[in-house]
Structure 1
């Protein structure tokens, strides 16, 4: 396997002075050298052909013993030194101090076709940042991460990627719902890939410790390698850097809202500095349209990370990043202007996103109320978001009275559409028809445009759970079936029509389908 290795992170940033892999506070360092844990009986379950190509691997490479060993932590690539990153973070609104890569080990950085990639194993063993945990991962969470990161990419959502999914051959003890009933599960390892895995918490830890020298070194490194169009380091450049991070974060969250994705754990240590969706834990897609829904059982009481609050949390996290960068900028007003811009841009970009979902191209002052009325209606009864918007593309201007019939498949319990609710929907469909009448777009073109932003297929939790249950029995076919289908989420794919369906009743309250914990 020949790769173009570029280890900029470990060459240009300060390393932990201690070599021992013991849990501790790591001071004045961006990372610690650490080797992955060798596993009992590694087995590759799936490899992404796209990521193989992106990294410069051949198909033969993926079938080699060396590939298996490297991407299960049993061998180290030539001329590389694996490491775990040091970072802190705010978790559920509270400063948690040092966190770091507790179960992720970075293997190397690779360049191919003018693209830069960092390779990281998740579930590869203990690091100095593991605290009381074992640094390992289980098959169920690894399947969810592997499938979802690639699915999100094909949905057009900024995201980290995945190269491979493997069994470790080891048993891992986990308490799925944190209720005192731990059980052994199959251990697994995912190779995650991204231009960088830097997150807000990497900068927060040095600001919190008043280690401004390392903070500046890290910010300068980040700008040099990932924002070099902003120019040489200066206060103005640091401000421009924060402004771009803010905009990328907003763009990512707007995409989440567009497809109905809920991250579940938007702590600052789970926020990518590049505006990528990172750390797929207790995520989920809306089944019934509900601004108050969260997939995370840990968040069930306060619902901090609920669907409708994701844009606000993005802003809250950016405030924390602004505080971390402040020592390099020392201009409160300039930072606040960028944060205020996020608020304004969210309103305009969110409305633009909803217009695209509705097939509207011409701007109209009444669109705000049209969207508001639609969202109110969607919450009158349990209504599947994905199916509703996909079916809406079949709506005909000249037949507004048929609107409810067109989207009826999206309603979980059709008998709940009583006369009062039916009237509200008919009123809205008439408004929608009148509004579409202002557009110049032909109905077929509008349908095509709508279907390009409203996916037909998303990775619903029950689908991932079925793949997990099969995999636990040694059957991995469904992993590949979902992987292939989710590459084309906007296409009709009639051969996969069974997956264009509401969540089945058996999944409504099932662990892994409706309820997920951070241990997932």
Structure 2
């Protein structure tokens, strides 16, 4: 049996390959990728597939076949394909890290279906020339998190890579979850993820760092031709337009992150998609208590470089590094600086408009910024659940005589703290909000409906993922399936799933996998 896929390997056909075919760790020069053969798992088994993505690539109805399992576990290579891993570099936590590359990602092939283009990539299918000292494998724990989160983000309306399948390999993988010298064996797993391209800022940084301008130009031209063709044929003016588009897409992505309370956790330049997609779901998390200083990444806990509140500015920092990389094709510091300076202004405007939408405000008012700033301050006076707060806020009535705080009291983790000065500040804010709502043309029901399209009721909280992981480790995949279905409609009420509309339970406050996460997968 074969899988009927419309193979179109333009990446490997049009870009320079690493001439070395042995799978040994090495520094790669003047090449965009290296050919790699996935490791054969000992006893693969299918955990879950995405019906939506099966249909998107034309494989609906094939998921139960042995051949499907063999291909998406890395055991068999599709006819007329040569799997490969990409070469890229990057800045990690603000420091130049040199060559990185796909250390545990192997691209199976590229396909076209229904006028859409997809790269099929296995994460955790074995070592590559870019694995450095690692084994190129992944574990069930992190694979569940990536599988569920990428699909959840899509249905939240956040630009993202997608997920097709989750497979157990039958092999055990040694991991030190907290990097504390206590490694343990965990179940190995592989996720097949999909995107039009997995190119990252680091792909371009690689060639700029080596002053390999010919290959840099080849890669940029390829990117424009296949992913930004609407800009025109590659030229200096189109390179400038291309950079503007990457800036705009990156800004759109991070504003969506802020809207839903998502924190990426490891925004290195090698984790920034050239298409403005959320990529590489490692130590991510959603805000429980609304806190601009929160980061889910234990590695980042000391300096909090990638905390929630700094994400828009970190995107700018990363864009500056991308600008440095493609500078040789533009040769104008002034033009690049103008684009980057515009981002600083545009991201503030975009954030302001996003926050207005979360509050149900459409009309313009000169005091709206002050209203938003006051809310952000009061939200952090006592631990207040972001998702629950904004969802419940839609129930507030513009002519409400009761205290506004009664509408959102379920969002407080410590209700006993909401007294005296804190209660006073909340009361004052709700009075201002009530006055502001009277300037809107929407009635309360219309406003609530509008707010509930931008404020999700359900997000993939870390404790929810952990419950799915704990069950799956015992061979029970029902929680994965329940969360997968729940998160397809995050803005719907879904009364039958009301148990998931809840604050983080106390047991999860300091539990590994819920509050403490690392890059270990």
The two structures have a TM-score, normalised by structure 2, of 0.99
Cα distance in structure 1, aligned partners of 2:364 and 2:490:
28
Give CA-to-partner distance per residue, 1:17-57, whole Å, 9 cap, x none: 10000000011000000010000000010000000010011
1:62 aligned counterpart, secondary structure = coil
2:315 aligned counterpart, secondary structure = helix
Cα distance in structure 2, aligned partners of 1:166 and 1:58:
17
Give runs of aligned pairs for residues 303-318 of structure 1, distance below 5 A. 303-318=304-319
- Alpha-carbon shift at residue 232 of structure 1 (Å): 1.0
- CA RMSD for the aligned pairs? 0.6
8 A contact 2:289–2:385 mirrored in 1: yes
Give CA-to-partner distance per residue, 1:347-385, whole Å, 9 cap, x none: 111000001000001111111000000000000000000
Cα distance in structure 2, aligned partners of 1:513 and 1:19:
41
- Alpha-carbon shift at residue 402 of structure 1 (Å): 2.7
Worse-superposed segment, 313-322 or 439-448:
439-448
Is residue 410 of structure 1 aligned with residue 425 of structure 2? no
Cα distance in structure 1, aligned partners of 2:151 and 2:113:
19
2:403 aligned counterpart, secondary structure = helix
Is residue 174 of structure 1 aligned with residue 175 of structure 2? yes
Is residue 446 of structure 1 aligned with residue 447 of structure 2? yes
Give CA-to-partner distance per residue, 1:285-332, whole Å, 9 cap, x none: 000000000000000000000000000100000000000000110010
Give CA-to-partner distance per residue, 1:177-218, whole Å, 9 cap, x none: 000000000000000000100000000000000000000000
Aligned to 2:30: 28
Give ranges in structure 2 of 5+ residues lacking alignment: none
1:67 aligned counterpart, secondary structure = helix
8 A contact 1:43–1:168 mirrored in 2: yes
Aligned to 1:58: 60
8 A contact 1:16–1:26 mirrored in 2: yes
1:205 aligned counterpart, secondary structure = helix
Cα distance in structure 1, aligned partners of 2:342 and 2:401:
38
Aligned to 2:146: 145
Cα distance in structure 1, aligned partners of 2:26 and 2:316:
31
2:364 aligned counterpart, secondary structure = coil
Aligned to 2:17: 15
Cα distance in structure 1, aligned partners of 2:303 and 2:46:
39
8 A contact 1:370–1:432 mirrored in 2: yes
8 A contact 2:124–2:189 mirrored in 1: yes
Cα distance in structure 1, aligned partners of 2:175 and 2:43:
20
Give ranges in structure 1 of 5+ residues lacking alignment: none
Give CA-to-partner distance per residue, 1:225-273, whole Å, 9 cap, x none: 0000111111110010000000000000000000000000000000000
Cα distance in structure 1, aligned partners of 2:200 and 2:151:
20
Aligned to 2:431: 430
Aligned to 1:391: 392
Q: How many residues align?
A: 519
- Alpha-carbon shift at residue 400 of structure 1 (Å): 5.4
Cα distance in structure 2, aligned partners of 1:26 and 1:191:
25
The two structures have a TM-score, normalised by structure 1, of 0.99
1:35 aligned counterpart, secondary structure = coil
8 A contact 2:51–2:60 mirrored in 1: no
Aligned to 1:206: 207
8 A contact 2:122–2:193 mirrored in 1: yes
- Alpha-carbon shift at residue 116 of structure 1 (Å): 0.4
Cα distance in structure 1, aligned partners of 2:55 and 2:479:
23
1:107 aligned counterpart, secondary structure = strand
Give runs of aligned pairs for residues 276-291 of structure 1, distance below 5 A. 276-291=277-292
Q: Choose which of 37, 42, 46 in structure 1 pairs with 2:39.
A: 37
8 A contact 1:393–1:451 mirrored in 2: yes
Aligned to 2:74: 73
Cα distance in structure 2, aligned partners of 1:233 and 1:498:
53
8 A contact 2:107–2:122 mirrored in 1: yes
Cα distance in structure 1, aligned partners of 2:310 and 2:351:
13
